[in-house]
Amino acid sequence: MLLPFFEWCEATMIGRTIRESLWMFPVLEAIHLVGLSLLGGALLVVDFRLLGVGLKDSTIAVLDRQARPWMLGATALMLGTGVLLFLSEAIKCYYNTSFWVKILTLPVAILFTLLVKERFARTAQETSTASRFVGATDLLLWFIVAAGGRWIGFS
């Protein structure tokens, strides 16, 4: 049912251009990885704090407010490069289990971060059972997204 959509993606001008270029895919991958570094850092400092480790001298709310613009910017960078990478090999992705694990977990992770974690962290001060749960869930969701993403290239 979804296959025609994936075929259409692969046939787009952008998808074709990237696929036929020698260097565009590798460069996009490299930028995608720089995005992973930034996103990982921005997520981890807050998640660690929610778990009660790392930058413990600051309150959760202060850290979260400072990290948020970088988290959002890095997410935008990853989505932008990710969509381009996908367009260049959409049909391969369609038949790739890791891709589906990643792409189905991604909206859950984004929604959890924006709707649950950010709302919670905005007003939270110190580590609590609730904050530990939020931090651990956020880490787990993004770990699945990242691991699934890396594994697309192996399967």
Partner 1 sequence: MINSFLEWLGSTAWSVRLLESLWMWPLLESTHVLAIALFVGSAMMMDLRLMGVTFGGVRASDFTSRLLPWTRGGFVVMVITGVLVWYSNPLRYYHNIFFRVKMLLMVAAGLNIWLFHSRTHKKIAQWDMDAPPPRAVRLAGILSFAAWTLIVVSGRLIAYNWFDCDIQPQPGWVNWASGCILPAE
Interacting residues toward partner 1 by CB under 8 A: 22, 26, 29-31, 33-34, 36-45, 48, 53-58, 62-63, 66-67, 69-70, 143, 146-147, 150-151, 154
Is residue 28 within 8 Å of residue 82, measured between CB atoms?
Answer: no
Locate 59 and state its tokens. 């309150």
CB of 55 to partner 1, least distance (A): 5
CB of 58 to partner 1, least distance (A): 5
Is residue 98 within 8 Å of residue 155, measured between CB atoms?
Answer: yes
3-11 and 13-20 helices cross at what angle (nearest 10)? 60
Helix (H, G, I), strand (E, B) or coil at 129: helix
CA distance 113 to 71: 10
CB of 98 to partner 1, least distance (A): 10
Q: Which is nearer to partner 1, 133 or 151 (CB)?
A: 151
CB of 40 to partner 1, least distance (A): 2
Q: Which residues contact 3 (CB under 8 A, 6 or more apart)?
A: 94
CB of 127 to partner 1, least distance (A): 13
The single residue listed with the structure tokens 């790739």 is: 96
Backbone angle region of 54, left / alpha / beta, with phi > 0 → left and psi within -120 to 50 → alpha: left
